[in-house]
Amino acid sequence: MKIKSLLIAKRGEIAIRIIRTARKMGIRSYVIKTIKEPNAWYLEEADEIIDFSEWFDDNLPEFLDIERIIGSVKKHKVDAIHPGYGFLAENPDFARRCEEEKIIFIGPSHDAIYRMGNKTIAIDLARKNNVPLLGGSPGTLANAEEARKIANEIGYPVILKAAAGGGGRGMRVVEKEKDLERMFTLATNEAEKAFNNPDLFLERFVREPRHIEFQILADQHGNVVHLGERECSIQRKHQKLLEESPSPALDRKLRNKMGEAAINIAKSVNYYSAGTVEFLLDADKSFTFMEMNTRIQVEHPVTEMVTGIDLIEQMILIAEGKKLAFTQEEIKLNGWAIEWRINAEDVQSGFSPSLGTIEKISWSENEHVRVDTGVRDGSVITPYYDSMIAKLIVHAETREKALQQSSLAIRKFWIKGTKTTLSFCRAVLQNSNFRKGKFNTSFLSKELKIHYQAEPDEVMLAAFFATYDYARGIHQFEEKPLQIEKSKKIAPWILNKRLR
């Protein structure tokens, strides 16, 4: 069935990203307006707005309110729902409700979401399909005592993971037996909060692996292809900070082998839509299955840049029941792409969130640079959602050229109003092992000692600017004490706040 309209059950950059593809395909887009972001940019980009701002429930955020979303879609006679990432994207109940209400869910079946979402079932499926595994608890853990028993058998360090988890939440590494109980409690609480399911399982922890994931596309007729890998090893507390495609660690042979394993995982649940199979790659190039994400991912643009395939478009076509228009042999990886995540975080204070108003944002785009963002001048970074400001995606013929172009693009990316991870991006680019492609998930904790890059004269120039601003303040006060308020230009969004 041809989709004529779709609702995006998500905000921010990915909402805008989906709107653009929908528009290209002649599909009308609907978005949800919330009281938390009444002036957000994605609202203006969409064709239609469904207003959820008149009432809200602190315990049930708008983008998690399944029945309200389904009700709105039926009321407005919208054909399909794209969940984006996060929120309801990997909620099997939501996909099931869509199926029941004859709404097209632009994603996999609820059964595939459920089975891959439950990590113990997923691991069991991987085992049956001869995909290599880490080893750990056979299912969910009853309590800390059971965790202790298994950990003692397989040896420390171990990692506790939420059975319903993903995205680094509900996940704790335990180095020693004495920390186990405390970490078990922390992970249980976090899992309960984040996924409404406190169940944990335990795995052997590979100390310094690479994190490599494969992009999968599968249609509803049994055709499955992979679109190569993404290198996601540069992480902080399991949160990805930059991704590239391809990975410096893979050659054609290993790519084929891992790609085949990824396809087998997808086939084991009759998967369709876009999905991602995550692996750990050890220093000896042996790999183990970690999990499958049954949604579009934040870092999907690097795959789009090297394959030239619009993944959102493919998800929509697959949801319409179309067959894949290409075979594995026809997919070519072209050049090198890197995505830099620019977050509103204070790198100098342990990446803590830096809330506030983006007073001004600008970058220079060219044939190497793509920027996916949901913010513009005056946008507010709220505590309700993640801290992402923008994704800077750079594409060039080789990794070296992509790094060169990245340096230029990062230098020309200017944001005023909040602290950002741009200084971190510069620090990574300066690191010689990163430039050589020699790194793994321990890069931040071991290799990159200083997480931000300051050039030699910067402190002196900053010191000058502080004294200059101070001296000017005194000068203005002495010269024309009554003019101070007048001379201050007030940005319209600040005025807006004051008037309220």
Partner 1 sequence: MAREAKKKKSTKLIALSTTNKAYEFKNPLEKKIKYQGEQVEIKLHEDPDGFSYIVWKNKKYMLDVIEKNQNRYTIMINGVWHSFTVETPISLKRRRFLEEQGESSSIVVIEAPMPGKIIDILVEEGSEIKEGEPIIILEAMKMQNEISSHVTGIVKSVEVKKNDSVMKDDVLIEIQKGSTSTSS
Catalogue the active-site residues. 295
Sole binder of partner 1 in the list 24, 446, 475, 497 (CB under 8 A): 475
* 455 near partner 1, judged by CB under 8 A: yes
Shorter beta-carbon distance to partner 1: residue 181 or 386: 386
- Whether omega for the bond prior to residue 157 falls within 30 degrees of 0, making it cis, is yes
Q: Which candidate, 238, 328, 226, places its Cα nearest to that of 277? A: 226
Which C-beta is closer to partner 1: that of 112 or that of 415? 415
Output the CA–CA distances (angstroms, integers) from residue 343 to 13, 215, 407, 423, 465, in the order listed.
12, 24, 17, 11, 25
252, 449, 489, 498: which one contacts partner 1 (CB under 8 A)? 489
Q: How many residues sit in the footprint of partner 1 (CB under 8 A)?
A: 55
Interaction between residue 494 and partner 1 (CB under 8 A): no
**Per-residue contact track with partner 1, 352 to 381, x per CB under 8 A?**
xx-x----x-x-------------------
Q: Interface with partner 1 by CB under 8 A: which range of 240-248, 275-283, 325-333, 414-422?
A: 414-422
The answer to whether 405 contacts partner 1 (rule: CB under 8 A) is no
> Rounded distance, CA 484 to CA 481, Å?
6
Which residue number, 142 or 471, has a Cβ lying nearer to partner 1?
471
Cα–Cα distance for residue pair 385/350, rounded to 1 Å: 19
Helices 252-268, 119-128: crossing angle, 10 deg rounding:
120
Instruction: Spell out where 255-303 has E strands.
Output: 273-281, 287-293
Interaction of residue 237 with partner 1, rule CB under 8 A: yes
Question: Rounded to an integer, what distance in angstroms lies between the CA atom of residue 352 and that of residue 236?
Answer: 12
Which 168-197 positions form the footprint of partner 1 (CB under 8 A)? 168-169, 182, 186, 189-190, 193-194
Cβ atoms of residues 289 and 136 within 8 Å = no
**Closer Cβ to partner 1, 307 or 387, answer by number:** 387
> Can you say whether the dihedral through the CA atoms of 172, 178, 181, 185 is positive or negative?
negative
Closer CB to partner 1, residue 120 or residue 423? Answer: 423
* 416-417-423 Cα angle (round to 5): 60
Q: Which residues bind partner 1 (CB under 8 A)?
A: 168-169, 182, 186, 189-190, 193-194, 237, 346, 348-350, 352-353, 355, 360, 362, 383, 386-387, 411, 414-417, 419-420, 422-423, 426, 452-455, 457-472, 475, 478, 489, 491
